[in-house]
Amino acid sequence: MIKRQLQQIIEKHLFKNKTVVIYGARQVGKTTLVNHLINKLELNYLVLNGDDADIRELFTNATSPRFKPVIADIKLLVVDEAQRIPDAGLGLKIIHDNFKNTQIIVTGSSSLDLAGKISEPMTGRKYEFFLHPLSFNELVDYQGFLAERRMLEQRLVFGCYPDVVMNSGNEPRILKTLASDFLYKDILSMGNIKKPVLLDKILKALALQLGSEVSYNELAQLLDSDKGTIEKYIDLLEKSYIIFRLPGLNRNVRNEIKNGRKIYFHDNGIRNAVLGNFLPLRSRVDTGALWENFLISERLKIISNQDIVPQKFFWRTTQKQEIDYIEEHDDRLFAYEFKWNPARKAFLSKTFSGNYKVSEFKVITPDNYNEFLTWK
């Protein structure tokens, strides 16, 4: 069993008179995580699944008397796939306010649907957490550092979804299913998508531009669309946990790129599934981009559920001076360059060091990446 590090964090937040909300894409392991919590707590529990019609009906015109015979003396209530329940927010508020001895755990595969439904009714009543695909540190805990380091090239190509990691040899088939059946269908059903073909083209364009700056105007021209539609669809992709945006650092230094952004995938395997490219690294021309995406997405797994989350950026000038990744902690900047080939050198730009106080600059390669993937 691969133990999820988020489990320990969630355990510390249980029975604090707050509902625990766990977001995450389909198949990242939310239900498995909740089952582990149920088994460890050994409490009287009930699971309500939002995919079931009778559960959705229960939350319709919700009242405390209506919930009472269902919840009764339940100590742990799990509402799984809560984004499927149209009136989830009000129902959860009623349960939270009227059943004080019941700990509620809510899971959802879409922040767009679920957050929109529970945000206002559950204001001040919830803790929110995000579950990613398996992390480097979780896999090291599971099989040891040396064994996981040997899998590095596999992770860059196939990613870290639990089903992918645990079914060696079947990765392409599993990833194609994830990318099509789960991810695309979820987005198309929740976002009132009028142009599914355009959505597919946008995702492929973003996959091809991995590690490069993304211009909404250029995408609109390339795909014969308009900037507003491009922004809307990218927002949907982000809220479905397929991609995430990294803004450019801009503090009015001369020649800095203004309003720049890069877009990365939460999982390398999903990115490669979008392109249908599972070739080994020795046969690829995008290894550098895969390395960059892997490191930044892994770093995101580490910091997203910390109490204090640093701000994250890249940096670039019109003269193409750049830094791959920057974190800002307590007004201190930590800068990183990513190189798949350890022999390739990288230096901190004098323009950057002359205008910013840099606490640390490191080049991250396969020789030292484990240091970067450890929270300090």
CATH code, 101 = 3.40.50.300
pLDDT band at 25 (very low <50, low <70, confident <90, very high): confident
pLDDT exceeds 60 at position 132: yes
Q: What is the pLDDT of residue 19?
A: 95
pLDDT exceeds 90 at position 97: yes
Q: What is the pLDDT of residue 191?
A: 57
Beta carbons within 8 Å of 109's beta carbon, 6+ residues apart: 23, 24, 25, 26, 30, 81, 83, 186, 240, 241
Q: Please, what is the average pLDDT of the chain?
A: 91
H/E element, 103: strand 103-108
Q: What is the pLDDT of residue 260?
A: 85
Q: What's the total number of domains in the chain? A: 2
pLDDT exceeds 80 at position 113: no
What dihedral do alpha carbons 247, 305, 162, 53 form, nearest 10°? -100
pLDDT exceeds 60 at position 337: yes
Do 205 and 112 share a structural domain?
Answer: no
Question: Residue 210 in contact with residue 264, Cβ under 8 Å?
Answer: yes
Q: Average the pLDDT over 153-158 and give the result.
A: 98
Question: Residue 202 in contact with residue 223, Cβ under 8 Å?
Answer: yes
Cα distances from 100 to residues 18, 78, 333, in angstroms, run: 10, 15, 44
Do 244 and 97 share a structural domain?
Answer: no
Q: What is the pLDDT of residue 251?
A: 83
Do 222 and 112 share a structural domain?
Answer: no
How far apart CA 219 and CA 207 sit, in angstroms, is 12
Coil, helix or strand at residue 317: strand
| Last residue within a domain, chosen from 67, 98, 130 | 130
Q: Average the pLDDT over 193-214 and give the result.
A: 89
Q: What is the DSSP letter of 13?
A: T
Do 162 and 140 share a structural domain?
Answer: yes
How far apart CA 339 and CA 67 sit, in angstroms, is 56
pLDDT exceeds 90 at position 141: yes
CA angle 238, 209, 131 (to 5 degrees): 30
- For residue 163, give both structure tokens: 């089903």
Question: Residue 230 in contact with residue 223, Cβ under 8 Å?
Answer: yes
Q: What is the DSSP letter of 109?
A: S
| Last residue within a domain, chosen from 110, 130, 150 | 130
pLDDT exceeds 90 at position 21: yes
Do 348 and 315 share a structural domain?
Answer: yes
Do 155 and 27 share a structural domain?
Answer: no
Do 344 and 250 share a structural domain?
Answer: yes
pLDDT band at 364 (very low <50, low <70, confident <90, very high): very high
* Residue 57: domain span: 5-130
- For residue 355, give both structure tokens: 């205008």
Do 182 and 71 share a structural domain?
Answer: no
pLDDT exceeds 70 at position 183: no
Q: What is the pLDDT of residue 286?
A: 97
- For residue 309, give both structure tokens: 């989350």
- Min mean pLDDT across 127-131, 183-187, 301-305 is at 183-187
How far apart CA 74 and CA 110 sit, in angstroms, is 27
pLDDT exceeds 80 at position 84: yes
Question: Residue 38 in contact with residue 20, Cβ under 8 Å?
Answer: no
Q: What is the pLDDT of residue 307?
A: 73
Q: Average the pLDDT over 228-238 and give the result.
A: 90
| Last residue within a domain, chosen from 130, 163, 184 | 130
Q: What is the pLDDT of residue 1?
A: 83
Do 367 and 323 share a structural domain?
Answer: yes
Q: What is the pLDDT of residue 231?
A: 93
Q: What is the pLDDT of residue 61?
A: 86
Do 191 and 82 share a structural domain?
Answer: no
Share of the chain above pLDDT 70, in %: 94
Q: What is the pLDDT of residue 102?
A: 96
Do 268 and 359 share a structural domain?
Answer: yes
- For residue 70, give both structure tokens: 């269902």
pLDDT exceeds 80 at position 375: no
Neighbours of 12 (CB within 10 A): 8
Q: What is the pLDDT of residue 35?
A: 94
Q: Average the pLDDT over 245-261 and give the result.
A: 85
Do 33 and 87 share a structural domain?
Answer: yes
